[in-house]
Structure formats: structure tokens, C-alpha cells
Amino acid sequence: QPPLPLVVTTWPFHSATQAAWKALAARGSALDAVETGCAQCETDQCDGSVGYGGSPDESGETTLDAMIMNGNTMEVGAVASLRRIKNAIGVARAVMEHTKHTFLVGESASLFAESMGFVCEDLTTNRSLSIYSKWLDQQCQPNFRKNVTPDPTKSCGPYKPVKSLSEGKKPTLQKQVDLHSHD
């Protein structure tokens, strides 16, 4: 067998791999295939870590990050902390094709997306709401806060900064591993 074409996807997200392969079979470019495959995962909400209705932040909101890169031209489009728009990879492609920028983030990225015709909709679902309310019931554990008061390992915020309790100690990047909270 010839080794090409080839689609490789993280995790067993087979529907995305299939969609990308179909895009290639329909004479789409490699870039088209990446966009189609990732968009399939956004629609499918692959394992809850892709797409709307997953990984709510401290205020219960789902926000999306995505990028797309053309290895021939080194063109890139990326969005981060995207609100109210489900098709993040589509917006990343729009950044590549309709701006001379590379990376748009946050509320303004959502406004750009709307101006490019992407549908504005609520990314919260019953599932993300239940994840959020369960977290609140567990005194907001786990969280990403440190050197704040009240003690972030025991309670929710709002938090205020405190002098670093570990001053003088050698800083370490090592932290608790949480398999259920990743990118």
C-alpha cells in the first residue's frame, strides 16, 4: 500500500478521523480535511473535552480554543477563550483566510466570528451545568488557585492574594495530575 494519504488523530476519536478521510476522498485539501475532522468532533462533543457543553470554567461557562495550520504556506489561524460560537475550528480558519493576523482571543474573537457569519448560541448544556453545580457543592475542588485566601484547597472564592507561603522554597512545576481536566 502507498503510505499516503494519512490521517492521525489524538484519542480514539474515530468519527473525526473518518470525516477527515472522507474530505480527502472528496478531493479536499489537507487543510479542508483537518477543519472537517475537528468540526466533526466539535459537533460530537468528543469525550466531553471538545466542543460545547464541556469543561465549564469557574463561572460555569464553556469557552473554546482552536488552531489550524497550513504546512505548505505556514499560514495559521487560531482562536482562544471563544464564547457563544460552537464551530471554533471554523472561526480559526476564518482568522487564517480573512485577516492578516494569526490569533484572536476572547469576547472580541466572538464578535469577529459573528461578523463573519458564525451563529451565536449558548454553549452551556445540562451536562456542563451539572458538572459546574457538582463542583460548587464540593467547595470548588479541584481548582487552579494558589497563594490566595480563603484557602483554595478548602473553599470557593472570591479570593484575595496573600504573600506566597512557599517563599524561599525552590519553585516546582510539578503538580497534582487530574486526568479529567485537560486540554
Partner 1 sequence: TIGMIVVDGNGNVATGTSTNGASHKIPGRVGDSPMIGAGSYADSSVGGAAATGDGDTMMRFLPSYQAVENMRMGADPTMACQKAIARIQKHVPIFFGAIICANKTGSYGAACSKAPGFTQFHYSIYKPGLSQPLEEMVDCL
CA–CA dist 35, 69 (Å, integer)? 10
Per CB under 8 A, contacts with partner 1 among 31-50 are 31, 33-35, 37-39, 41-42, 46, 48-50
Which residue stretch of 110-118, 135-143, 162-170 sits at the interface with partner 1 (rule: CB under 8 A)? 135-143
Residues between 152 and 171 with contacts to partner 1, criterion CB under 8 A:
none
54-93 binders of partner 1 (CB under 8 A) = 54-59, 61-72, 74, 76, 78-81, 88-89, 92
Local structure of residue 36 (DSSP, 8 states):
H
Helix axes 106-115, 88-98, angle to 10 degrees: 80
Q: Answer positive or negative: Cα dihedral of 38, 41, 47, 53.
A: positive
Residues 103-132 touching partner 1, rule: CB under 8 A, are 103, 105-106, 123, 131
- Spatial neighbors of 177 by CB under 8 A, at least 6 apart, are none
Q: Which region, judged by CB under 8 A, interacts with partner 1, from 111-119, 162-170, 172-180?
A: 172-180
